[in-house]
Structure 1
Amino acid sequence: MKIGLFIPCHVNALTPHIAIATLELLEAYGLDVDYPMAQTCCGQPLFNNGDLKGAAAAAHRFSQLFAGYDYVVAPSSSCVSHTACHYPPHTPGYAALQPRIYEIVEFLQDVLNVSALPKPVYFPHKVSIHQSCHGLRQRNHATASELMLPYQSRLERILALVDGITLTQPQRRDECCGFGGTFCVDEADVSVAMGQDRIAGHAATGAEFIVGAEASCLMHMGGILRHQHGTLRTLHIVEILNGKAAA
């Protein structure tokens, strides 16, 4: 199984340790993982800001670059949602590629069907699970509250494989953190206020860490937390699953 590692630009530039943790986790399961050095932005910022021509060019480049892999895997539900749901369907090579694009948690559960981690992981801390909007509603990470259905959480199920961990969730478990891509630039004050509210919800659980599968949400909340000088920290789920989270 040949995996093309898709690393979003914000992860590459600001949180490369998440990219490394993703690579290490996939390789620990015995997979052949390659990082195409020519990859660029998937085009989501262009699409969100109305540059459909630029977004289409990015879609074409992405589809050609990742065409030779069995699966494309990324530590970002937002960028995976864009590439798997919003590329122009007529993009050359995209029809064959689309069903092979996965976010890391859904890949581990739906393709590898993991029932154990590659090696035992001990993380004796209380964590509050953060559900990102794209992960929740486009990658089936959990049940959205408006559906009024029995609750399930992909992140909760896979984190339960970690020894010593205590899992909790904020009272409003699917509330947006306020990042929203370019929304945090266009409406910075609203974005920060939403982030502060989301952090308060996580902090109320008594958790030591906010854990999620979307690097951009964690980046947004992590920035606010650094300004607040509190003890609560953010971690991407792969940092725990690969056993190298700094506790």
Structure 2
Amino acid sequence: MRIALFITCFNDTMFPGTGKAVVRLLERLGHTVDFPQEQGCCGQMHFNTGYRREAVPLARRFAEVFRGYEAVVTPSGSCAAMVRDHHRVLQPDLAPPPVYELSELLVDVLGVTDVGAWFPHRVTYHPTCHSMRMLRVGDRPLRLLRAVRGIDLVELPAAESCCGFGGTFALKNPDTSNAMLADKVHHVRATGAEVLCAGDNSCLMHIGGALSRTRTGIATRHLAEILAATEEDADEHPS
């Protein structure tokens, strides 16, 4: 299958390794991955902060750039939800292309759960709010993680609780955000995990910052990075 990668602004700017992991993973599974250079913001930041008029041209550009692809994959539940749920609100006359969060693409479209990954570490998984509540990805990420060789996957207590990031929510409501974050960190530490995994780097950055500041020694990894890992990477300790 010919698949387009929508990397998102956040990943492109701060976590480019996640996009590279998506490409490695899909190419290992035998698919062709394109990266349209003309892509830009999906408009989520504008839409969520009330600048809907400014988000319209971004939504239209998105549809133009990704037109014609069998599938568009993004390593971000929040941006996938923006395109699928809100681009229709912004541009009802223009259907968005078929956009999938990574676990949806792998399980529902490509029909795989065992992607040949190897990650010999104790891992716990945080389901991000957009992927869980808007996309309803359910247990797809966990099914993919359970098939990873060498992994010790442990359940995260109160997993469905928000980490407190929420984009500008963390800036506008810092006290509430920090309280939510403290609860999440407490639960992550209780698992004894070496690595916290999630499908959105925004949440991983928020939680990972607290894990680092409190010197827990717990690393963070995007789902794509774990699924892209192979036995050749087994000697590398997560950092």
What TM-score do the two structures reach when normalised by structure 1?
0.89
Aligned equivalents of 2:55, 2:85: Cα separation in 1:
13
Deviations 1:82-138 (A, max 9, x none): 0011113573874262xx110011100000001421x4x332221111010111112
Query: SS state of the match for residue 95, structure 1?
Result: coil
Equivalent AA in structure 2 for residue 25 of structure 1: L
What pairs up with 1:119-158 in 2 under 5 angstroms? 119=116, 121-142=117-138, 153-158=139-144
Q: Does 1:46 align with 2:46?
A: yes
- Consecutive aligned runs of 4 or more in structure 1 exceeding 3 Å deviation: none
Paired position in structure 2 for 1:57: 57
Equivalent AA in structure 2 for residue 166 of structure 1: D
Aligned equivalents of 1:82, 1:92: Cα separation in 2:
14
Give how far 1:226 is off: 1.9
Deviations 1:61-102 (A, max 9, x none): 1111111211110000000000011113573874262xx110
**Residues 239 and 62 (structure 1), Cα distance of their counterparts in 2 relative to 1, 3 Å cut:** same
Paired position in structure 1 for 2:9: 9
Aligned equivalents of 1:187, 1:89: Cα separation in 2:
27
Aligned equivalents of 1:243, 1:170: Cα separation in 2:
22
**Residues 24 and 133 (structure 1), Cα distance of their counterparts in 2 relative to 1, 3 Å cut:** same
Paired position in structure 2 for 1:113: 111
**Residues 234 and 33 (structure 1), Cα distance of their counterparts in 2 relative to 1, 3 Å cut:** same
Give the fraction of aligned pairs with identical amino acids, expressed as a percent: 40
Give how far 1:205 is off: 1.1
Deviations 1:213-245 (A, max 9, x none): 111111111122222222111111111111167
Query: SS state of the match for residue 223, structure 1?
Result: helix
CA contact (8 A) 1:60 1:92 kept: no
Give how far 1:51 is off: 0.5
Deviations 1:41-61 (A, max 9, x none): 110010011101011111111
Aligned equivalents of 1:132, 1:90: Cα separation in 2:
24
Give how far 1:3 is off: 1.1
Query: SS state of the match for residue 88, structure 2?
Result: coil
CA contact (8 A) 1:24 1:242 kept: yes
Aligned equivalents of 1:89, 1:183: Cα separation in 2:
22
Equivalent AA in structure 1 for residue 45 of structure 2: P
CA RMSD between the two structures:
1.7
**Residues 90 and 210 (structure 1), Cα distance of their counterparts in 2 relative to 1, 3 Å cut:** closer
Paired position in structure 1 for 2:66: 66
Q: Does 1:176 align with 2:172?
A: no
Aligned equivalents of 1:234, 1:111: Cα separation in 2:
27
Count matched residues: 233
Unpaired runs of 5+ in structure 1? 143-152
CA contact (8 A) 1:2 1:70 kept: yes
